Amino acid sequence: MNCIINIIAYNRPQHLKEVLRSVEFELAKYKGDIKFSVNVVIDGMQSTGCIQENTQEQIIRICRMFKFDFLIRNSNLGLRKNIHTVLSDFKKSSFDTLILIEDDVCLLPQALDFYDFMFKKFKNNQDIFQISGYSPLDEKELNYFFSHRISTWGWATWREKFPNLEEFKLNWKTFNFIYWHQKYKSNILMNDLKRLFRLQKKGLRDLWSVDLLIYAMTKKKKTIYPSISFIKNIGLDGSGENCRKRYSFNGKEINKIIDTPIFNFKLLKHDQSKLECMFNKYYQHGIFKRTILSFYDFFRWK
C-alpha cells in the first residue's frame, strides 16, 4: 500500500515548519510497510508585493530544508478550490490512500501507526470512507467510534472509496439547505452545523468541507474517530482563513490534546455509544454559546 501525505500551505511559514518537523519525526519512527510520499501544495499569493513574495520564499526554503516535494500554484485558488483540486488529483493518481493536513496540523506520536491500522482494518468496509486523526475527546484509554460528521483536521481516506469531486461539490447558489436540514436533521446533525450552512449559503464563508459533510450524511457514510487525538492544531491563533482565535467560555483552549502513550493497536476496541454521546455533546451549542456566536457573526460580517 502507498500513501500520499498532502500538506496544504499558504502564508504561514512558521506554522508550516512545525508541521513538517512533526511529519519528518513520525516518518522516521514509523516501522510499518506503507510507502509514504510527502507533497506540500503551496497556494499562490493573493497579490504581488514584497511581503507576500518574501513569505512564499520562506515557505519554499522550509520545504527544501526538509527535502519534501512541493508544488507552487501559479495563482491564488483559495482554500476551498485548492483542497478540491488536491482531492481531484488524488482520485486520478496511483496512490492507494491519502493523508491530508493543512499547515497548522501537527502529527502526534503514533499518528501514522493509527492511520496504518485503520487503513487496513476498514479497507473493504464501504460504509467507512474517512479516518480522523483528530478527536475533541481526551479519554484515558484508546478506543474508536464512528460518526457521520466528517473530520477536517488531519484526516485520511482510500482512493477507491472517496467520492469524485462531482459527486459531492455543491452549487451553493441553488442548494436548498433548509429543506435538506429538515430532511436529515437528527442526533447526527449537531446544531452548530446549521450556522455554517447559513454562512456558506450567504457567501460569508468559503468552506471546502460542508459539501463533503452533506455528502456523508446523505449517503450515510461514516468517519472513524479515535478517543484520543493523534494530531495537534496549532492554528487556533487567528492566522487561518476559516479558523478564528478560539477559546471555550471557561477560558481553556478548545483544542484538547493529551500526551500520547505507546499503544498496542491490536487491542484497540470499538466503543460506540459512550464515545458517540460524548462527541455529539461536544458539538452541541447551548443558548449562551449560540447567542455569543450570533453577536460574533453580526459584527464580523456586517
Please provide the distance, in angstroms rounded to a whole number, between the alpha carbons at the two ends of the chain. Answer: 49
Q: What is the pLDDT of residue 122?
A: 96
Q: Predicted confidence band at 27 (pLDDT cuts at 50, 70, 90)?
A: very high
Whether residue 253 has pLDDT greater than 90: no
Q: What is the pLDDT of residue 228?
A: 92
Do 102 and 94 form a contact (C-beta atoms < 8 A)?
no
Q: What is the rounded distance in angstroms from the CA atom of residue 169 to the CA atom of residue 276?
A: 27
Whether residue 244 has pLDDT greater than 60: no
Q: What is the pLDDT of residue 293?
A: 46
Q: Which has more pLDDT, 107 or 182?
A: 107
Q: Give the cell for residue 289.
A: 454559546
Whether residue 260 has pLDDT greater than 70: no
- Calculate mean pLDDT across residues 253-278: 78
* Main-chain dihedrals φ then ψ at residue 287, nearest 5 degrees: -60, -40
- Calculate mean pLDDT across residues 130-134: 96
- Calculate mean pLDDT across residues 216-220: 89
Q: What is the rounded distance in angstroms from the CA atom of residue 235 to the CA atom of residue 244?
A: 9
Range name among 15-24, 143-152, 188-197, 219-228 with the lowest pLDDT average = 188-197
* Main-chain dihedrals φ then ψ at residue 136, nearest 5 degrees: -80, -10
Q: What is the rounded distance in angstroms from the CA atom of residue 242 to the CA atom of residue 79?
A: 9
| pLDDT (tens digit per residue) in 182-213 | 777 654 556 667 777 777 777 777 788 888 98
Q: What is the pLDDT of residue 161?
A: 96
- Calculate mean pLDDT across residues 256-269: 76
- Calculate mean pLDDT across residues 111-131: 96
Q: What is the CATH number of the domain that holds 40?
A: 3.90.550.10
Q: Give the cell for residue 101.
A: 493536513
Q: What is the rounded distance in angstroms from the CA atom of residue 278 to the CA atom of residue 242?
A: 25
Give me the percent of the chain exceeding a pLDDT of 90.
47
Q: Predicted confidence band at 222 (pLDDT cuts at 50, 70, 90)?
A: very high
* Structural domain count of the chain: 1
Residue range of the domain that includes 149: 2-301
- Calculate mean pLDDT across residues 23-44: 94
Q: What is the pLDDT of residue 288?
A: 41
Q: Give the cell for residue 265.
A: 493497536
Is 282 exposed, middle or buried (CB count within 10 Å of its CB: 0-12, 13-18, 19+)?
middle
Average pLDDT, the chain: 82
Whether residue 111 has pLDDT greater than 50: yes
Rounded to two decimals, the pTM is: 0.85
Do 39 and 5 form a contact (C-beta atoms < 8 A)?
yes
CA-angle at 182, arms to 178 and 185, nearest 5°: 120
Count of other CB atoms within 10 angstroms of residue 254: 12
Whether residue 237 has pLDDT greater than 80: no
